[in-house]
């Protein structure tokens, strides 16, 4: 892993969260968009990135997360050079993949690791 790529934060109201993280906390909105099941905003927090995730569908993964747990930290993402090689290495070390490799909001391949195999933290790998 190269670095922490971003921290994903589940929110119930994206507009309110953007206002909090920009106007109140001083971050800068980089981009806003939609992907299947969610609306997102990328916030520059002084050189680190926050990925705000709001459910577009109550049955999406983020919708279920917010319904069951409320808003809060959803995942930590790490940048990697080769997602398939890193995923093979981590699976061989006993970590459990959660879902398929797919294209994430940054337009690059991503994959999640199940929190039960990563100390209780949903972990995302992002190919940079």
For the stretch 50-63, pLDDT in tens is 999 999 999 999 99
Average pLDDT (94-110) is: 96
pLDDT at 37: 82
Q: What is the pTM of this model?
A: 0.94
Measuring CA to CA, which residue among 4, 7, 44, 10 is closest to residue 28? Answer: 44
On the question of pLDDT at 49 being above 90, the answer is yes
- The DSSP secondary structure of 61-92, one letter per residue, reads HHHHHHHHH-SEEEEEEEEES-HHHHHHHHHH
Q: Which uninterrupted H or E stretch holds 34?
A: strand 28-35
On the question of pLDDT at 1 being above 90, the answer is no
The model's confidence at residue 36, banded by pLDDT at 50, 70 and 90, is: confident
CA dist., res. 106 & res. 72, Å (int): 21
CA dist., res. 125 & res. 128, Å (int): 9
User: What would the two tokens of residue 35 be?
Assistant: 């992907």
The alpha helices in the chain, defined as continuous H runs, are: 14-19, 61-69, 83-92
Extents of the domains making up the chain: 3-127
On the question of pLDDT at 122 being above 90, the answer is yes
3-127: CATH topology is: 2,3-Dihydroxybiphenyl 1,2-Dioxygenase; domain 1 (3.10.180)
């Amino acid at each position: 892993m190269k670095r922490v790529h971003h921290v994903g934060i589940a929110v119930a109201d994206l507009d309110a969260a953007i206002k909090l993280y920009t106007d109140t906390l001083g971050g800068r909105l980089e981009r806003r968009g939609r992907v299947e099941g969610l609306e997102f905003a990328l916030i520059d927090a002084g050189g680190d990135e926050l990925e705000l995730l709001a459910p577009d569908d109550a049955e999406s993964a983020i919708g279920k997360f917010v319904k069951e747990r409320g808003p809060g930290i959803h995942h930590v993402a790490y940048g990697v050079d080769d997602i398939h090689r890193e995923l093979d290495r981590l699976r061989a070390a006993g970590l459990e993949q959660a879902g398929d490799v797919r294209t994430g909001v940054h337009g690059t391949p991503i994959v999640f690791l199940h929190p039960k195999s990563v100390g209780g933290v949903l972990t995302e790998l992002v190919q940079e």
